[in-house]
Amino acid sequence: MSIFTQRESDIRAYCRVYPVVFDKASNARQIDEQGNEYIDFFAGAGVLNFGHNNERMKAAVIDYIQQDGVLHSLDMHTTAKRRYMEVFESVILEPRAMEHRMQFMGPTGTNAVEAALKLARRVTGRRQVVAFSKGFHGMTLGALACTANSYFRGAAGVALDNVTHQPFAEITHLDKLREQYADASSGVEPPAAFIVETIQAEGGVNVASKEWLQALQALAHDHGALLIVDEIQVGCGRTGSFFSFDDVGIDPDIICLAKGIGGMGTPMAMNLVKPEHDKHWSPGEHTGTFRGQNLSFVAGVEALNYFRDSELMDQVANYTEVMNTALAPLARKYSQVAIRGKGMIIGLDVADTEHAKAIVAECFDNGLLIASCGTGGRVLKLIPPLTIPESDLRAGLAILVRATDNALEAAR
């Protein structure tokens, strides 16, 4: 492992938690070079909704490469991109009567957020953006200003201006903001946009209520601001429907997608933008070399195919119950434990950083990959592939429950 310690940057992090070298992976399993297998409740930080090396995607991608399909195309037209857009339109947009345009950019979530912020500022002529406490939106300077965590913010080295943070999912606080926006002497002006995750993933699996999201949209629209929903971690089926907000009754102006939409782990990012906003762009104003990732288009079509019928989403509903059922006793047993989530993103909040660390470590020793999130990392985040076999899901849950019991019993 010496090349890593000798030559990789000190900034490396996950490899410190999982100190092995992974070699193979399939669906919900990763295998290290010693042949040890791990059930994967981490799924590449929410990218691998359809499992490692999804067979349909493998086949499609290999076929595409073998046929010399165009791999890299910036924003030129390709047949693979056309197919992706057509399927996205017919499977996702049309059934929802969404008129949104599709904007591709550099294929990381932070690039999508940067593009959304630029457009919202352009459309409104305003510069201030409202983000929320515990929100996570990326690492580049524009997106980082929206990210709440002081550890990440502290690395900026410059002032993170033009964004203010408000409490997440507190409905009375929206009334306070409304009052301030209406008062020309409040010192607070309506923003260009509100950027929000419906479920804060990195922030500790915090779920916004339908009422709050609707009130937020109303506040935005009453004051000429855009509503940007960052679906990067919780979209693409994770919550039991393609969009996490499908059952919430909102209609965002811009939706940021990345992570899972590329299918098998190759990158892709896309914003869905209402046409009345999109028209404010001039050609090429926000570019990005890797905005035409055709392997991601090809695998992404296979991902979209999962949404043609209800089979996978039914399974997500079923698995959601399995997961909650397995974890519920922990919340009953330990008063400090809270369980939060929607669909197959579940946070097991053990209210203590050291306990969470111990649980992650014991899980790893017992063959389960799981990561923590939330302030100080006190929340175990369960985001297995949606395609995980039920046996793996149950086995993983058993490992997690046992590890949690061990950590929390010891601390009593």
Task: Scan residues 180-219 and list those touching its own copies (CB under 8 A).
Answer: 180, 183-189, 192, 203-204
**Does 410 contact its own copies by CB under 8 A?**
no
**Does 266 contact its own copies by CB under 8 A?**
yes
**Does 34 contact its own copies by CB under 8 A?**
no
Cα separation, 157 vs 148, whole angstroms: 15
Cα separation, 40 vs 360, whole angstroms: 12
**Does 96 contact its own copies by CB under 8 A?**
no
Contact (CB, 8 A) for 107 and 258: yes
For its own copies, the closer of residues 219 and 330 by Cβ is 219
Segment near its own copies (CB under 8 A); pick from 146-154, 317-325, 354-362, 384-392? 146-154
Segment near its own copies (CB under 8 A); pick from 98-106, 209-217, 358-366, 388-396? 98-106
In the shown chain, the binding pattern of residues 106 to 125 toward its own copies, with x for contact by CB under 8 A and - for none, equals: xxxxxx--x--xx-xxx---
Contact residue for its own copies among 258, 323, 360, 380 (CB under 8 A): 258
Segment near its own copies (CB under 8 A); pick from 127-135, 245-253, 318-326, 358-366? 127-135
Contact residue for its own copies among 44, 235, 252, 347 (CB under 8 A): 44
Distance of CA 277 to the CA centre of its chain: 24
Interface residues for its own copies in 48-87 (CB under 8 A)? 48, 52-53, 58, 61-62, 65-79, 82, 85-86
Amino acid at the residue 335: S
Q: What is the total residue count of the chain?
A: 412
**Does 303 contact its own copies by CB under 8 A?**
no
Contact residue for its own copies among 15, 91, 331, 351 (CB under 8 A): 15
Site size toward its own copies (CB under 8 A) is: 141
Q: Which residue has the tokens 């919780």?
A: 234
Contact residue for its own copies among 33, 311, 314, 390 (CB under 8 A): 33
For its own copies, the closer of residues 109 and 237 by Cβ is 109
In the shown chain, the binding pattern of residues 323 to 362 toward its own copies, with x for contact by CB under 8 A and - for none, equals: ----------------------------------------
3-state secondary structure 235-296: CCCCCCCCCCCCCCCCCCCEEEECHHHHCCCCCCCEEEECHHHHCCCCCCCCCCCCCCEHHH
**Does 251 contact its own copies by CB under 8 A?**
no
Contact (CB, 8 A) for 343 and 238: yes
CA gyration radius, the chain: 21
Cα separation, 295 vs 116, whole angstroms: 24
Q: Output the smallest distance, CB 325 to its own copies, in A.
A: 30
Cα separation, 283 vs 274, whole angstroms: 17
For residue 293, give the DSSP letter: B
Cα separation, 256 vs 248, whole angstroms: 17
CB atoms near residue 201 (< 10 Å):
26
Interface residues for its own copies in 148-177 (CB under 8 A)? 148-159, 161-165, 167, 173, 176
Q: Which residue has the tokens 């009593």?
A: 412
Amino acid at the residue 127: R
**Does 381 contact its own copies by CB under 8 A?**
no
**Does 265 contact its own copies by CB under 8 A?**
yes
Cα separation, 316 vs 326, whole angstroms: 15
Segment near its own copies (CB under 8 A); pick from 22-30, 313-321, 356-364, 399-407? 22-30
**Does 411 contact its own copies by CB under 8 A?**
no
Query: Closest by alpha carbon to 237, among 312, 295, 156?
Result: 312
> Tokens in use for 6?
């000798």
| Distance between start and end Cα atoms, the chain | 38
Contact (CB, 8 A) for 365 and 260: no
**Does 402 contact its own copies by CB under 8 A?**
no
For residue 72, give the DSSP letter: B
* Strand pairing report for 29-32 and 37-40: antiparallel
Q: Output the smallest distance, CB 75 to its own copies, in A.
A: 5
Q: Output the smallest distance, CB 366 to its own copies, in A.
A: 18
For its own copies, the closer of residues 31 and 401 by Cβ is 31
Q: Output the smallest distance, CB 378 to its own copies, in A.
A: 11
Q: Output the smallest distance, CB 384 to its own copies, in A.
A: 15
